[in-house]
Amino acid sequence: MEFEKDYDDGKALRDIGLNKNLNKPISFLYYNYYRSISQYIISNSGDEFDAEDIFQEALLVAIKAIQENKFRAEASLKSYLFAIARNLWISEIRKRKSASRREEIYAAESEGATDGINVKIARKENFDLIAGLFEGLGGRCKRILLLYYYKQYSMKEIMVEEDFANEQVVRNQKYKCLKKLIEKVNGNPVLYQNIKDALKYG
């Protein structure tokens, strides 16, 4: 996409804040800042697919913050977006380690261990909360987000489960679903925090 020579961070912030033709500032951010974030993700145990996922989620978080006047002008837009992406990636790595640990716990339970009952109860409560929050997103979005965040499915596994053509189609659909979710909880900080907690500990 071609940008006029004077299109810069300031104009991107203005357009996002006004919710005006978001394709233009989003394309601008991709063009200028995706590469540095991608390099960071890949150099820290991720791959190109992880980089695309994290960048998309970082964009959604940044756009929401800008539109709610939570962006502080003393930080550059590049630094702000990078910080969000870095925090998201750190959380993702922790989530993957936690998922691996949970698998070990469940394996022990299947062999007769009984000390994981509280974990099962917590998972059931979180599942009920998440399912309720996702209810209004439509059946496919609900399934995709539950599979990814709650059941820890990979993009490839979701592709097979939901009969998508390829993994990129899954990523694009997940991005659209996340955007719908943010719009749904926008303006309700309690609901927003509930879903963050449920996804983190689910």
The predicted structure's pLDDT at residue 73: 73
3-state secondary structure of 65: helix
CA–CA gap between residue 81 and residue 92 (Å, rounded): 16
Which position has the token pair 């990129």? 168
| pLDDT at residue 119, rounded to an integer | 43
- Pairwise CA distance, residues 99 & 120, whole Å: 14
CB 198 within 8 A of CB 76: no
pLDDT above 90: residue 37:
yes
State mean pLDDT over 163-190: 77
Task: Judge if 1-112 and 116-202 fold alike in CATH terms.
Answer: no
pLDDT per residue as tens digits for the range 95-117: 777 655 555 544 544 444 444 44
Domain 116-202 -> CATH class: mainly alpha
Q: Does domain 1-112 have CATH number 1.10.1740.10?
A: yes
186: Cβ contacts below 8 Å, ≥ 6 apart = 64, 192
Q: How confident is the model at residue 84 (pLDDT cuts 50, 70, 90)?
A: very high
Name the pLDDT band for 35 (thresholds 50, 70, 90): very high
Residue 9 has pLDDT above 60, yes or no: yes
Q: Where are the domains of the chain?
A: 1-112, 116-202
Mean pLDDT computed over every residue of the chain? 76
Buried b (16+ CB within 10 A) or exposed e, 164-197: beebeebbebbbebbbebbebbeeeeeebebbee
Identify the pLDDT of residue 129.
Answer: 58
pTM to 2 decimal places: 0.55
User: Residue 117: what pLDDT?
Assistant: 41
pLDDT in tens, 118-132: 444 444 455 555 566
In the predicted model, is pLDDT for residue 50 greater than 80?
Answer: yes
